Structure formats: C-alpha cells, structure tokens
Amino acid sequence: MANTQRSESAATIVGDDALTASNQSTTFRGQSWIRMSSLLIVVAGGIAVVRLLPVGRLTDMLTGAIQDMGVWGPVLFAGVYVLATVLMLPGSALTLVGSGIFGLWWGLASVSVGSTVGAACAFLIARYVARPAVERKLAGSKTFKAVDRAVEQGGWKIVALLRLSPAIPFNIQNYLYGLTAIRFWPCVLASWVAMLPGTFMYVYLGYAGGEGVAAATGEQSKSMAEWVLLGIGLLATIVVTVYVTRLARRAMQRAADFKSTETALIDDSPTEPIKVKPAKPVVTAAYVVVATVVAVGAVFANIYSTKFQSLFGPPPVVSQETYTDILDGPNFDHSQLDALLTRYVNERGGVDYAGLMSERKVLQAYIASLGKAPFAELDRNEKLALLINAYNAFTLELVLEHWNNGRMTSIKDDIPAEDRWDVERWKVGGSTWSLNQIEHDQIRPHFKEPRIHFALVCAAVGCPPLRSEAYTAERLEEQLADQTEYVHTHDRWFQLDADRNQVRLTQLYTWYRDDFEQSAGSVLQYAAQHSAELKRLLEAGKAPRKVWLNYEWALNSQQNLR
C-alpha cells in the first residue's frame, strides 16, 4: 500500500513537472515569437527610414572628411574598427566601407590593423579587467570548456584553426581566448595571420562594389578586359577563402584531442532533459517598446519625409522644366537692384555692406516691387531671373537687418536660425515664401538648371561670388555660364591635381548631388563639362578621387573678399 502511494505521489510529481515544463515551453515559444516579430519590425522600420536618407551625400561627406586627413584617415578608421570590435559590433559593414574609402590595399591595411588591435584589446579586457564577469557568463558553456581544453593542448595552432573556421563568431573568440591559458603574443599573431583571408575577401568585395558603383554613375570607365580581371579576382578571392575555411574545419575534425570540441561546437544538445527557462518578461517588453518606437518613427519619417530629409541637408527633388516660353509676356524691371550691385559689389563678389546700408531704402523699394510682380504671366527666363535676384536681394536685406554697425561676422553665427532661411516672410508675386522655399520649392523642381547653385548667394565667403549686376532674362544664359566658369577656375571652389589623381570640389556638389546627377549622370561628369583636364582624365578611365573643400561661412564682405 505504501509503495502504491509513493508511486502515485511520484506520478503526480512527474505529471506536475511535465505540466510545468509544458507551460514554460509554451511561454518561452510565445516570448520568442514576440521578440522575433519585434526584431523584424525594427529591421523593416530601419529600412523604411534609411531609404529616405541621402545616402550618397552622407557617404560623400564621410569619405571626404576621412580622405582629407591624409595618412591619418586610415589611422582614424582603424581606431573606429578597434572600438567596434571591443563593443562586439559587426565588423563586416565597416570592412566593406574601408575598401570603398581607401582602395584595396590601404583598406586591407587599415581593416587588418583595426581588427587585430581590437581583438588584442578584447583579449586583455577578458584576462585582466572583466575576467570574473566573463567567467561567470561562460561558466556553464560547453563550447568554452571544449575550446579551453583544446587551446591548452594545441596552443596557437588551435587559435589559428578556430579563426579560419566560422564555428565560433569572431567577436566572441576575442574575449574567449583571454580566459584560456594561451599567452598574449602567440594568440594575437596567430589571429592576425589566420584572419587575413577572410579580411581580404570582404575588402575585395567592397573594392569591387565601389568600382561597380563608380562605373554605374559614370565617374569611372573600364574596358571589358579590366572587368573580366576584376571578376576573376573576386571569384578567386571567394573560392580561396571558402577552401581555406574547409581545410581548417577538416583539420579540427582530424585532431583527436579536438573531437570533443568539434562535437560541442556542432552539436550542443543536452543528453538529459532540462527545464526551459523563459526569458524575463521585462526583456520581452523592452523588445516590444523598441519595436514600437522604431515603427512609429518610421511612419512619421515617411509622412513628413521632406522635413525629415531636411535634417541632413537640402531635400532631394526631381528637376524638370515646368514653365513654357511666353512670347508676349511682360518684362520685370531689375534696374534698382542692378544699380546697387554695381556700386557696392567688387569683382570678387565682396559686398560693401556699410555703403549698401546708406541706400537701404532703395533695396527695400526693389524688394517691395517683387511682391507685386506678375509672376504667373512672366516668361520662363523672366521667372528664373526674378527668383534668383529675389533670393539674393532678400539675403542682402537679411544681413542689413543684423548688420549691427559692422560687427556682424557670419550669417550663421550672428543671425538666429529661426530668422534665417526658413522664416516665411519674403513676398514674390503675391505669395510669401522663405529663402529655402524659393530655392527648394520654386526653383529646383521647376527648372532643370543646376547652374543656379552657382548664382544663389547665401552671404558667405564659401558661396559663389555675388555678381556686380542683376540677372536679366535677355542675358540669363550668358550670366549663368559665366558664373559656372568662374567657380571652376578658382581654387576656392575647384582644384584638380592630376598628379595625385584628386579633385577638390565645393561642398555645393555634395549638398546638391542629385541635381548634378540628374543633369549629367554624376558629379564628376558635370564638373568635367567645365574642366577640359578633368574631362580628359574621365575619358582615359582615370576618375580622380573626390575631396570636399571646407565651406567658409565668414560674411562675404569686401574686407573678407579683397
């Protein structure tokens, strides 16, 4: 009887345990689905936001900033790679970017140094700084115990084989080796040599991708033979890397002392039942919160895409000609502005603001006439000339409002942002616009004319020079051509060094990259229309590296532009 009761009691306990395990398993699966769904939402939201970003412009700015550092560029990049490695961030994207910025060999050098130094730092952190925490984290890991035994017996050879094999992720290995008995330098040197094949493959992928993008945008041309060699090199790199990886895996399998390690790495399933421990609800809740924030952010970014994109510079537009010629349309009189520009602007575009202040009423009278202009009735060239003159005249008036008896030094530093380019206060033909609306809403989408970026002047030294005359419909083509020629023949905006295969361009080219690409296919192709030497380099397949010149925001006064 007692035995029967004990059996029934045991059965009840087993049944309860089974029920508990079943409930825990169900909870675990439910939380896993929630976390997986949250991750998918985060990825989808990230993609939705990234597609709105001006990736080309941001890449140009980043590339230009790093390249302009010279030899310190690869050093800085390697430092970023070290930090990413220590923080256990994925390094493959950085590897692809490195080759795109620095080319094949400099890219390989910076990535190899960065990844090796990062791995060494992680090793030292695990061994001397965070050893107790890391040991507790890995205390019950079969993988760690197997690797620890294998490294103890095989030393640097096992480290090299593991580095070549994808059995354990790169970032985990960096910390794991710090807890084993292997010495520092054998581990670092073995890691460096063994990581080279994989590093070279990713660098070459980035290099080949960069060459393809350059060709697609027209910035670089290659012969069929060059493309064949590039493809063969890419294929050979992948084949060799995969082959070396398989050799490493086979070598580990053949090692008698490593069989248990390989089994643990490949099959880590338990030999006896274990209780499933669901993730803490707070962790799952955090996933849901992050996913919700990203999803809401992505929705708002897409609804208010123009404002979102303006955070990263001028919004992209589709440039097209929307105005037709009007044979009998009226002419607008710009003589008041023309007289002021003739008197107070020198040949370098410097403005005598003190002198202009003495005739501010004349400028204001011209500005008042713009508000009464019959804009809808004007011819295409009349409209464009009026909008350019209006933008420049409004900017001059804005500076005079904050002139402060000559103590103003910069339109960015001395005029509050809310009073500068986005305030809707300027009247043209019965409409009221901001300076940014004139440029981005009224000019760029309605005129396929990227030369306007060399005519609109924002009162800074880095801007193209203000002409000492007003634009007119009759001479508009001549004036825009002259402005564009001026920009491409002065070092402030354009420098070509054929010996170093480098072209230094005004940042106008990266801010309005889309406009120039719509006109000529690429920034370099557009600039080549105004530089015979650059055109010869492109035709010879020697596309120079782009570097962006510093944009000087000092006021375009005659004192600064003598």
The per-residue pLDDT for 153 is 63
Measured CA to CA, the distance from residue 164 to residue 187 in angstroms comes to 13
The per-residue pLDDT for 37 is 78
Helix, strand, or coil (residue 102):
helix
Neighbouring C-beta atoms of residue 508, cutoff 10 Å: 23
CB contact burial 355-368 (16+ within 10 A = b; e otherwise) = ebeeebeebeebbe
Count of H-run helices and E-run strands, the chain? 24, 5
Measured CA to CA, the distance from residue 337 to residue 469 in angstroms comes to 8
**pLDDT tens for each residue of the chain, 562 residues long:** 545 554 454 444 445 554 454 555 555 556 667 767 776 787 677 667 666 666 666 666 666 666 666 667 777 778 877 887 777 776 666 666 666 667 777 777 888 888 888 888 888 887 777 666 656 665 665 656 566 666 666 667 767 777 766 556 666 777 777 777 778 888 888 888 878 877 777 777 666 655 554 554 445 544 455 445 545 555 654 554 454 455 545 555 555 444 444 444 444 444 444 344 444 566 667 777 877 887 888 787 777 766 666 666 688 888 999 998 887 889 999 999 999 999 999 999 999 999 999 999 999 999 999 999 999 999 999 999 999 999 999 999 999 999 988 889 999 999 998 899 999 999 999 999 999 999 999 999 999 999 999 999 999 999 999 999 999 999 999 999 999 999 999 999 999 998 888 899 999 998 998 899 999 988 999 999 999 999 999 988 888 888 888 889 999 999 998 7
Q: Amino acid identity of 383?
A: K
The HSE-up count of residue 23 (CA atoms within 13 Å, CB side) is: 6
CA dist 361 → 224, 364, 368 (Å): 65, 5, 10
Do residues 204 and 129 make contact, with C-beta atoms less than 8 angstroms apart? Answer: no
The per-residue pLDDT for 207 is 67
Helix, strand, or coil (residue 238):
helix
The per-residue pLDDT for 386 is 98
Distance of CA 470 to the CA centre of its chain: 38
The per-residue pLDDT for 231 is 58
**The pair of three-digit structure tokens given for residue 20, joined into one six-digit string:** 């508990």
Residues 6+ away with beta carbon under 8 Å from 559 = 350
Pairing of strands 545-548, 494-497: unpaired
The per-residue pLDDT for 373 is 96
Residues in the chain: 562
Measured CA to CA, the distance from residue 373 to residue 196 in angstroms comes to 68
Residue 433 Rama label (left phi>0; alpha psi -120 to 50; beta) = beta
The per-residue pLDDT for 358 is 95
The per-residue pLDDT for 534 is 94
CA-based torsion, 238, 239, 244, 245: positive or negative: positive
Do residues 349 and 457 make contact, with C-beta atoms less than 8 angstroms apart? Answer: yes
Measured CA to CA, the distance from residue 27 to residue 278 in angstroms comes to 6
**The pair of three-digit structure tokens given for residue 118, joined into one six-digit string:** 């990062």
Nearest in space to 549 (alpha carbons), one of 497, 484, 505: 505
Do residues 83 and 155 make contact, with C-beta atoms less than 8 angstroms apart? Answer: no
CA dist 237 → 196, 203, 230, 244, 518 (Å): 11, 10, 11, 11, 36
The per-residue pLDDT for 339 is 97
Neighbouring C-beta atoms of residue 328, cutoff 10 Å: 6
